[in-house]
């Protein structure tokens, strides 16, 4: 998964916070049982970004956007890549698509110039 900041993202805009090292099934199972413990124990990193900066991450890492306490909208270009033969529903993956009719319709090569 990747996102690109379309404007500067400052602390007051509630940048995405990543809980480092939480991309494993073991940690996810522990998180389901005691989320507060995982949040307290994990090292974190916040995506404080300048316009045009990109973050590329394993989408299994526990992450969340913070509360936007500014008067600006936090705008990001958000892209997720996956094996086209995998079934996201069977894996329990929510597509996160704003427009459900577009989910699964395109792949990266759809946007390559000819």
**pLDDT per position as a tens digit, 37-89:** 999 999 999 999 999 999 999 988 999 999 999 999 888 888 877 777 877 77
**pTM given for the model:** 0.75
CA-CA distance, 2 to 105, in Å (whole number)? 18
Helices (H) and strands (E) counted in the chain, each on its own, are 3, 6
CA-CA distance, 12 to 21, in Å (whole number)? 25
The pair of structure tokens assigned to 21 is 């090292």
| 113 pLDDT higher than 70 | no
CA-CA distance, 7 to 52, in Å (whole number)? 7
CA-CA distance, 37 to 42, in Å (whole number)? 9
DSSP helix/strand/coil, 4: strand
């Amino acid at each position: 998964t990747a996102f690109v900041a379309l404007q500067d993202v400052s602390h007051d805009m509630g940048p995405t916070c990543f809980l480092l090292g939480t991309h494993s099934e073991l940690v996810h199972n522990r998180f389901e049982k005691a989320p507060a413990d995982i949040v307290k124990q994990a090292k974190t990193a916040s995506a404080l970004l300048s316009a045009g900066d990109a973050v590329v991450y394993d989408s299994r890492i526990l992450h969340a956007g913070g509360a936007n306490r500014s008067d600006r909208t936090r705008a990001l270009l958000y892209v997720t890549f996956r094996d086209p033969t995998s079934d996201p529903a069977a894996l329990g993956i929510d597509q996160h698509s704003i427009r459900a009719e577009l989910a699964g319709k395109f792949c990266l090569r759809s946007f390559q110039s000819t």
